[in-house]
Amino acid sequence: MTTTALNSRAPKSTSELKALLEKKKAEIAKLEQLAFSGEIKERIDASGIAELYKNIKKDLKDVGDVALLSEIAKAAGVKRLTISQTPVAKRKVTK
């Protein structure tokens, strides 16, 4: 019978453990986001941040969303934040 990676008892290498750690950290970050999303949404709704964002966006029509959000993050003191915007998904053309 051949052994596979799933039932192997061989110890994992350092690089394999580091890769697994990074994967688990990403999973934890997603779980935290889901767990606190309700509380965050309530706070945002109560604070009026969305209305302020809309007013700034209306006043500065030529400024893109990514640039505006980046500057808001800088003003709030958020470090090492990467904001990107995905392109609009094109619909499949049906004939």
Written as one string, the DSSP assignment of 19-50 is HHHHHHHHHHHHHHHHHHHHHHHHHHHHHTHH
Burial class (CB in 10 A: 0-12, 13-18, 19+), 82: exposed
Q: Is the pTM of this model over 0.75?
A: no
28-74 pLDDT, tens digit per residue, is 999 998 899 889 889 988 998 889 999 999 999 898 889 999 998 89
Residue 55 domain flag = yes
Question: Which DSSP category does 80 fall into?
Answer: S
Q: Tell whether 21 and 32 lie within a shared domain.
A: yes
Q: Tell whether 70 and 59 lie within a shared domain.
A: yes
The answer to whether the CB of 54 falls within 8 A of the CB of 44 is no
What radius of gyration, in Å, describes the C-alpha atoms of the chain? 22
How many domains, the chain?
Answer: 2
Structural domain for 24, as ranges: 15-47
